[in-house]
Amino acid sequence: MALEILDTNQEQSFRDLCGPADPEISRLLRPNTLRALFGKDKLKNAVHCTDLPEDRVLEEERYAFLTEWFDPIAAVLRCFQLFYYPNDGSVEMFDMKKQQKFLKRIKYDDLDPKDLFIGNRVKVFSRQLNLMDYGDEYTANKLGSKKERTLALIKPDAVTKIGEVLEKIYASNLIVTKAKMTNNSVHFLSSGPVVAMELMGDEAVSAWKKFLGPAESSGAQREAPQSARAQFGTDGIRNFGHGSDSLAAAARELEFFFPSTIGYGPPNTATYTDSTCCIIKPHAIAEGLTGKILNTISEAGFEMLALQMFNVDRANAEEFFEVYKGVVPEYNGMVNELCSGACMALEILDTDQQQSFRDLCGPADPEVSRLLRPNTLRALFGKDKVKNAVHCTDLPEDRVLEVEYFFKILDG
């Protein structure tokens, strides 16, 4: 039932009567409000009311999310409602504890709508917000109804093609939210390293199965010549990859590789020997450049010994880049970039003590790289000295230390 309510108070007195969106919070802080009295949960919270005065007459489309942000100064986890307006790309934030507006509505071009899914981390004016839940039923129905997660497993015979695979996944409008190279593949009757990934997208289970094609590679070549198994598989076992058969199977298989509860998934494949560290930065991941970067690394003759995606918090980013503090003016920007979203850490086999992989990365400034070393990673994929596509170990003595930081400390 829709109601038009006479409300001449521009401070939104009727909204005060409705109370906070979460009935539990309403019952705690505002026990006489409509949502406190009649609401059940954040979706079945009895009533919807207009949040902003300017939206009263004609409400425009708006997505709402419940988010968490760790305040490093106060060492406190703060809860906000994040509102995103797709019509003009503006955002607004509401402090859940203080029950007051934290950020007035303002246009923010750096937030991509495709990054708005539960479990992701987004940056809003330098704050790393974890998207914990949908903030209202409309957003849940609009954005969450078709969103699924599934396991994508790249078998040993196709691991060397991982860059090309990621490019095709990106072109299929699926998002890689987790990834890890591991030797533990007993569940899939294969030996050697595999790459396990969590894919998220509209009807991801069926989308990934269609991407794979028929289980037998020869059948795939006849029936679905554009499928991955047709292009990369050889038979019914060495058939490129595995996909979950259902949502239930996906949940079970994802829990095995990426446990959500206490415990560890299968071990990574890091060797910590004759190797160096490379990190594909969050901006490059978000721009869909991961596959291109991995292809360039492989084409240059380098072998990837370990691969894993991480969401690095600010404290870890500061610790990892501590050697640059007070040395390079971009230190704060480097920290902000590393913790702005998911990154991908790589262990690269590199026995050349003259740092040949570092040569492939190129100078830290992409403009200088494009002038002097146009075929390097930073020249090809970098934007500026902070968003320069990749980090690589600078000093020979730090190679193993940086690999250990990600694959032993953070993965542990």
User: Which residues lie below 8 Å from residue 79, measured CB to CB, with a gap of 6+?
Assistant: 66, 67, 68, 95, 96, 97
Is 97:78 a contact under the CB 8 Å cutoff? Answer: yes
Please indicate whether residue 391 is annotated as part of the active site. Answer: yes
Within a 10 A sphere around the Cβ of 401, how many other Cβ atoms?
14
Closest listed residue to residue 124, CA positions, set 73, 67, 176: 67
Phi, psi of 58 (to 5 degrees): -140, 105
- The span from the CA of 67 to the CA of 362, in Å, is 38
Contact 362, 369 (CB under 8 A): yes
Tell the residue number behind the tokens 């040395």, with chain if given. 327
**Among residues 48, 187, 283, 391, which one is catalytic?**
391
Q: For residue 23, what are the β-bridge partners?
A: none
Cα(166)–Cα(175) distance, integer angstroms: 9
Residue 233 CB partners (closer than 8 Å, separation 6+)? 157, 158, 217, 220, 239, 240
Supply the DSSP symbol for 303.
P
What CA–CA distances, in Å, run from 360 to 118, 374, 379, 391?
36, 10, 10, 11
Give the whole-angstrom CA distance, residue 279 versus residue 403: 10
Is the sign of the CA dihedral 50, 54, 58, 64 positive or negative? Answer: negative
Going by C-beta distance under 8 Å and a sequence separation of 6 or more, which residues neighbour residue 54? none
Q: Which two tokens stand for residue 158?
A: 């196709």
The span from the CA of 58 to the CA of 213, in Å, is 47
Crossing angle of the two packed helices 290-299 and 162-171, in degrees rounded to 10: 160
Instruction: Tell me the C-alpha to C-alpha distance, in Å, between residue 290 and each of 143, 295, 337.
Output: 25, 9, 16
Burial of 406 (0-12, 13-18, 19+ CB in 10 A): buried
Active site residues: 391
